[in-house]
Structure 1
């Protein structure tokens, strides 16, 4: 069962030439520099996959894309697992070790009882002692590595990405960490591990991906891939200095001249084989270059994409809102009715008073008229 699948991953960055630098093909700001060029491989549940390559080959960029810290230019990262990242830049150096632990536990969303249990487990694992009350920026590289590994290996580990920190550990703590990783693998936790020391990869990983100049050179059983990688290093060391310079220049020229349209055509052909048609091409292009969601061809990808497209359930909100609207409308109608009744009563009272006053005036005028007539008669 595939726990993680990455396909057609490419990453481009712009070049920023110095004003004093003569712009050549190598520093042409109109072109992008492709750190990654179409990386594709998968990881199964409970497996550890190593990522090896020279410095600057694109290993760290790939791991950051997998963890969501960086955004790829093309391609898909398909997984339904929670990803934990162990790298030197994965915690806040200005906070103390204990503050980083508590923040990570709080962000995981566990209850207080389990959170306290996890905090104690990480403290015991790191063996940091009183250093936990000091800012992380004051830690040695080894103590820093212990802390980030403790966080990644204890807080809900499902898919753990470890970026060049295992080789920073002392021998005793390294052996302790290996035991912890093996125990988690036995319970189904998946690992992606990058390290500059091949012995670390060989001792932990069943399969390995070899990346060179942003391109996947090979992917397969760890021992075979490491042997090929070491052969390539021996070949490079045997070159003269001018030959090394020419080799590096040619490889970087390839990274400049990479045509991403070739990668898109490969993706498009795969889509057509799986039932998509020319009418779907706008969607395919948007998925490949813009959306960067789950791979639409894979089973997990289809499932995740369908979940994303599902309309959001409003739950109890709709009946509650309707009830409130009804209450307010009824209240308004009652107030209006009461005010109308009051106004009618006031109008009736005022009309009554007006009628009484008019009757009084009529009676008085009748009396005056009768009195006047009687006086005239007497005269």
Structure 2
């Protein structure tokens, strides 16, 4: 099968600063300030054309960071990422400009994707209709709720018909009816053989829609395989996680961070 995504030994490092002064000193002096934080550590992951892969994991596991790297929004610190085709990221307010209206954001985002003004004009009505924003389409996006931003971003991305669709918690906000309509649209993409990444805390949605699972845990790959192989293990972990006290969760995180450091050696 043809590979649509190849992620090889990818790590992403950020600097954590105590204050703005420390951040400024790190930029203007030779001495290193701040603490290194690895959101991802040596991630290996491949998706074949037509794969529908769910990214799962508790908060802070690196799901959104990896999604942004695959989409080309955030650069990796080390490693390589190969994407075979155009990728579109759908996340709440991703790529939307708050001072512009919804209509102006449609034009801007589509121009950035290489569409002509004539092509955008032809797509505009379909995008607006799918978003269900009505008269709000001519209001500044900064006045939108999270659900409205998500609907606009989703409507733009599915209408421009990318090769790879990355949905990052975009269906976790807004109303149930729109979420169901969006899932139906994603099923159409699935039938076309599009590659999709689905980031969600909804186990039910992941089980309903995905075929494979990438389980991330504090920046490392915990498991990767079919839904049938991985999801029972993840559900067992989540049941245990919910029973943990705050102290127990912190101890678990510290142990996970120790394992992450081994990946970086």
| Shared fold, TM over 0.5 | yes
Deviation of 1:244 after TM superposition, in Å, equals 2.9
Name the structure 2 match of 1:56.
Answer: 60
The 2-side partners of 1:244 and 1:173 are apart by 35
Question: How far 1:240 sits from its partner (Å)?
Answer: 4.3
Where 2:172 maps in the other structure, the secondary structure is helix
In 2: Cα distance, 1:139 partner to 1:106 partner? 22
1:375 alignment partner in structure 2: none
Residue 204 of structure 2, aligned match among 199, 202, 216: 199
2:13 aligned with 1:12, yes or no? yes
Instruction: Give the whole-Å Cα distance in 2 for the aligned partners of 1:41 and 1:199.
Output: 23
SS in 1 for 2:239: helix
User: How many angstroms apart in 2 are the aligned matches of 1:237 and 1:180?
Assistant: 33
Determine if the alignment matches structure 1 residue 181 to structure 2 residue 182: no
In the TM superposition, residue 188 of structure 1 has moved relative to its aligned partner by 2.6
Higher relative contact order (CA 8 A, sep 6+): 2
- CA contact 1:105–1:118 (8 Å) conserved in 2: no
Deviating more after overlay: 59-68 vs 106-115: 106-115
The structure-2 alpha-carbon separation of the partners of 1:244 and 1:260, relative to structure 1 and needing over 3 Å to count, comes to: closer
C-alpha deviation, 1:111, in angstroms = 4.0
| Structure 2 CA distance for partners of 1:110 and 1:12, relative to 1, 3 Å | closer
- What does 1:240-319 correspond to in 2, within 5 Å? 240-255=245-260, 257-258=261-262, 260-261=264-265
Q: Who wins on radius of gyration, i.e. which is larger?
A: 1
Give the match for residue 152 of structure 1: 157
Does residue 1:83 correspond to 2:87, yes or no? yes
1:95 to 100, 105, 116: 100
Question: Any runs of at least 4 consecutive aligned residues in structure 1 with deviations exceeding 6 A, and if so which?
Answer: none
Asked if structure 1 preserves the Cα contact closer than 8 Å seen for 2:52 and 2:209, the reply is: yes
Question: Cα gap change, 1:110/1:71 in structure 2, threshold over 3 Å: closer, same or farther?
Answer: closer
**2: CA distance between counterparts of 1:108 and 1:30?**
36
Matched, 1:139 2:144: yes
> What residue number does 1:296 align with?
none
User: Given the alignment of the two structures, is residue 127 of structure 1 paired with residue 128 of structure 2, yes or no?
Assistant: no
Aligned with 1:168 (options 153, 169, 173): 173
Secondary structure at the aligned position of 1:7 is classed as strand
Q: Deviations over 1:222-242 (max 9, x none)?
A: 243222112112222333444
Structure 1 segments unaligned to the other structure (5+ residues): 20-27, 262-379
Q: Which ranges in structure 2 are unaligned for 5 or more consecutive residues?
A: 21-31
Q: How many angstroms does 1:249 deviate by? A: 2.7
| 1: CA distance, partners of 2:35 / 2:140 | 42
Task: Map Cα deviations across residues 152-177 of structure 1 (whole Å, 9 max, x no partner).
Answer: 11113111111111121312111111
Offset of 1:61 from its aligned partner? Answer: 0.8
Report the 3-state secondary structure (helix = DSSP H, G, I; strand = E; otherwise coil) of the residue aligned with 1:41: strand
Matched, 1:37 2:41: yes
Deviates further, 213-222 or 101-110: 101-110
Aligned with 2:59: secondary structure? Answer: coil
C-alpha RMSD of the superposition? 2.1
- Cα separation, 1, equivalents of 2:113 and 2:77: 29
Query: Secondary structure in 2 aligned to 1:76?
Result: strand
Distance of 2:76 and 2:145 partners within structure 1 = 32
Choose between structure 1 and 2: higher strand proportion: 2
The Cα of 1:56 is off from its aligned counterpart by: 0.8
Aligned length: 252
- Bigger fraction of residues in helix: 1
